[in-house]
Structure 1
Amino acid sequence: MPSLDIVSQVDLQEADNAVNNVVKEVATRYDFRGVHTEIKLNRKDKVISIVTGDEMKIKALREMLIAHFTRRKLDSKCLEFKKHEATSQGQLKQDVAIKEGISKEMAQKIVKTIKNLKLKKVQPAIQDDQVRVTAKQIDDLQTVMQTLNNADFDLPLQFVNMKR
């Protein structure tokens, strides 16, 4: 029976490249001259730390991050921007979490969406942080993939391990 896995993963190397490109762009931008700006990716915790001068610069960095993630073919839905806070040096700090994996609640929404299609012989099953879908025909799996791509979930979904 054909099957596929629905996952939410982020290529950390591409995320690192996107962050490095933002650092290079900040170094050349006129509006960041004379302002201490720091952007770091903690690969272990999957958190991007931003420290800069004021709220406008935080917004500019946010837009740059989203743009560079998109250029690197990473979905910007995986970025979760936390609230910014003041530092002791009079600057602002913001953490950006990189979301990976499908939570239990989101997996249940995905399963419900698949079951609402009312396709015969299509069975979704939640397995840890992914959803496995098995079907009698490969066309049914493609219908499921198309429906989930068009649905608006708050995280990027990838389809892996498609077996015939």
Structure 2
Amino acid sequence: MLIREAAADDWPRIWPFWQRIVSAGETYAWDPHTSEEDARALWTAPGKRVYVVEDDAGAVVASAYVTPNYGGPAARIANAGFMVDPDRSGQGFGRALAEHLLAAAKADGYRAMVFNAVVETNPAVGLWTSLGFTILGTVPDAYEHARHGLVGLHIMYKAL
């Protein structure tokens, strides 16, 4: 596998799994009907460092971004978003990308990473806790999950 910074021409390879994940309404607090243009703006906005994972055949199977969570004097606290093609989950791409991104964020001078809205039923909660994230709190019944109804959103934190 190869983890690298994304190039502009990677978006058409990210969009299919981005759209599939967000439209499922199970893990991201973005509108499930987000257009491709708006999705690209969300994922690749200025100030975000975007990464992709390529499998051994060169297919893009995951993507992530890192960006400041706050501004001004708190700009050294990172935020990130991660997506793995659902057809490729459970193959180690998400963990490898997360470890890479955490190291890159630390090298870029971030002191910590915060996730503002992790759906409590998201299987990635196990990944994040195994990588040292703690749940600072949970906003109850904040997310209208497509299958489970109202579920909480975790706020998660890890010092870098």
TM-score of the superposition, structure 2-length normalised?
0.30
TM-score of the superposition, structure 1-length normalised?
0.29
Higher helix share: 1
Larger radius of gyration: 1
Higher strand share: 2
User: Which structure is richer in relative contact order (CA contacts within 8 A, separation 6 or more)?
Assistant: 1
